[in-house]
Amino acid sequence: MKVLFLGSGTSTGVPVIGCHCDVCSSDNPRNKRLRASVLVRSESTTILVDSCPDLRQQALRHNLTAIDAVIYTHEHLDHTTGFDDMRAFCWRRDDKLPLYAGSSCLAHLKRMFAWAFSEQNTYKGYIRPAAHDHEGHPFTVGDIEVTPVRVEHATVETYGYVFRCKGRSFGYVPDIKVLPAESRSLLQRLDVLAMDGLTTKEHHTHLSVADNVELMLQLAPGRGLLTHCGHAVDYDSICRMLPDFMAPAYDGLELDI
Ligand SMILES: [Zn+2]
Ligand SMILES: [Zn+2]
Ligand SMILES: [Zn+2]
């Protein structure tokens, strides 16, 4: 299974518009972060997680022209507003594009992009989604098993996901404040776990870097990554603070799991 980080940044991206802090002014390419999204691939299947506002740029950067499904974590705009750019993945296919989300996110997408979900939408230039409400239950895309992991984040229904293929596992939880007790076992001892590490200070809707490390030590993945990072996270300084099995993700990071 291969995982490509299309974007590792929070909702503003990094640099933040108009900000002149050390991280926003840094020359280190690992401090340049598009909005959070990953591509999970097996030999035969490609899954996009979230359609962020930087999707067009990400697709061009990585020559991404086709996906087999899109899966959403939640309805916040930094995870959904690239929806229209998925047209490019529909021009080349005859059938509808499988789309998986929880109930709240799916309702939001149908409200925001009603034309795409309409029965009258038969034009090939539009996105034609085949929508699935996973209701928190595991599902399969090609040869990749996907398990939704319910987490607490802001006031919206939010999921992380565990992807499994050929005995290997990858957990992706970009937005989380609290991991509920009932979700904990799903994230235990994965091969790789990438999780929200927004900032260096306490935050009311996201894990801080310190919160992330504390939770990672409990969940004990083979490798732990921070993602959805903001401009308080300087790549090099945070690297030095993290335990050996952890690192910040960065745009373009590709893992062979
Ligand atoms: Zn977010
Ligand atoms: Zn800044
Ligand atoms: Zn969010």
pLDDT above 80: residue 120: yes
Strand pairing category for 144-151 and 139-141: antiparallel
Query: Which ligand is closest in space to the CA of residue 36?
Result: 1
Indicate the average pLDDT of the chain. Answer: 97
User: Residues with Cβ < 8 Å from 95, sequence gap 6 or more?
Assistant: 130
Fold entry, domain 2-256: Metallo-beta-lactamase; Chain A (3.60.15)
The reported pLDDT for the residue numbered 122 is 77
Judged by its nearest atom, the ligand closest to the C-alpha of residue 17 is: 2
Q: Are 179 and 187 in contact (CB under 8 A)?
A: yes
Average pLDDT rounded to a whole number, residues 214-230: 98
Residue 67 has pLDDT above 90, yes or no: yes
* Residue 125: predicted pLDDT: 81
CA 62 to ligand 2 centroid distance, Å: 26
Q: Is 139 exposed, middle or buried (0-12, 13-18, 19+ CB in 10 A)?
A: middle
Expressed in angstroms and rounded, the spacing between residue 15 Cα and the centre of ligand 3 is 19
Whether the Cβ atoms of residue 112 and residue 77 lie closer than 8 Å to each other: no
Pair type for strands 46-49 and 69-71? parallel
**pLDDT at residue 109 tops 90:** yes
* Per-residue pLDDT, 195: 98
Predicted confidence (pLDDT) at residue 210 exceeds the cutoff of 90: yes
Amino acid at 79: H
Q: Quick: pLDDT tens for 24-62.
A: 999 999 999 999 999 999 999 999 999 999 999 999 999
Task: Say which ligand is closest to the CA of 198.
Answer: 1
pLDDT band of residue 121 (cuts 50, 70, 90) is: confident
CA atoms of 74 and 69, how far apart (whole Å):
16
Q: Are 239 and 250 in contact (CB under 8 A)?
A: no
Question: What is the Cα–Cα distance from 230 to 114, expressed in whole angstroms?
Answer: 32
Q: Give the model's pLDDT for residue 124.
A: 76
Q: What protein residues have CB closer than 5 angstroms to ion ligand 1? A: 78, 175
Domain ranges of the chain: 2-256
Residue 139 has pLDDT above 80, yes or no: yes
Say yes or no to pLDDT of 110 above 90.
Answer: yes
Q: Which residues contact 212 (CB under 8 A, 6 or more apart)?
A: 195, 196, 197, 224, 226
Distance 38 CA to ligand 1 centre (A): 13
From the CA of 147, how far away is ligand 2's center (Å)? 35
Q: Which ranges constitute the DSSP H helices of the chain?
A: 55-61, 87-90, 103-112, 114-117, 209-219, 235-241
